[in-house]
Amino acid sequence: MEASNKQKGYAWALSAGLNAALAAISAKFFSSQFIRYGLVIFFNAIMWGSYVNSLKALSSLQATVTNFATNFLSSGLAGFFLFEEALSFQWFAGALLIVLGVLILSKSSIEGKTHKA
């Protein structure tokens, strides 16, 4: 798989995670029901489109884990900065482990491995 194509896949997966976080943030941030639901639907539609595009360039495992990690980190940091929610040491330890896992998966080449029977 071409490196440029893989980079685009990761960019799509990051976009999917950020848009999923934006959907959750908009659900908490706006008081108007119309705006709230409209933004949640809007960001979720963009998230699904981005996720599908990431699946075209990455393995499903790499796309899903990158999407999840971006969503987790973005939502947690938004909660801390926008809503003044507390983040414990365990949250930061878990976030670090998630990032390390994503880095390990991004270096792996799942499609290129062959198994001998």
70 located within any domain: yes
pLDDT of 4 over the 90 cut: no
Q: Which domain, by its residues, includes 80?
A: 3-107
How high is the mean pLDDT of the chain? Answer: 89
45 within some domain: yes
Whole-angstrom distance, CA of residue 92 vs CA of residue 98? 10
Q: How many angstroms separate the CA atoms of 80 and 60, rounded? A: 30
Show the tokens assigned to 80: 């801390």
Residues 80-92: what's their mean pLDDT?
Answer: 94
Q: What distance lies between CA 24 and its chain's CA centroid?
A: 13
**Is 23 a domain residue?**
yes
Q: Is 62 exposed, middle or buried (0-12, 13-18, 19+ CB in 10 A)?
A: buried
Structure-block tokens of residue 60: 């499903």
Q: Are 17 and 69 in contact (CB under 8 A)?
A: yes
- What pLDDT, on the 0 to 100 scale, is given for residue 110? 54
Let me know if residue 113 belongs to a domain: no
- What is the number of domains present in the chain? 1
**Tens of pLDDT, residues 29-50:** 888 999 999 999 999 999 999 9
Domain-embedded: residue 117: no
Q: Does the structure show a pLDDT above 70 at 116?
A: no
Q: Flag whether 114 is in a domain.
A: no
User: What confidence tier does 109 reach under pLDDT thresholds 50, 70, 90?
Assistant: low
How many C-alpha atoms does 26 have within 13 Å on its Cβ side? 19
Distance CA 62, CA 91 (A): 22
User: H-type helices in the chain, by residue range?
Assistant: 3-29, 33-57, 60-83, 89-107
Q: Within a domain: residue 86?
A: yes
Q: Which two tokens stand for residue 45?
A: 């539609």
35 falls within a domain: yes
Kindly report whether the global pTM for this prediction surpasses the value 0.75: yes
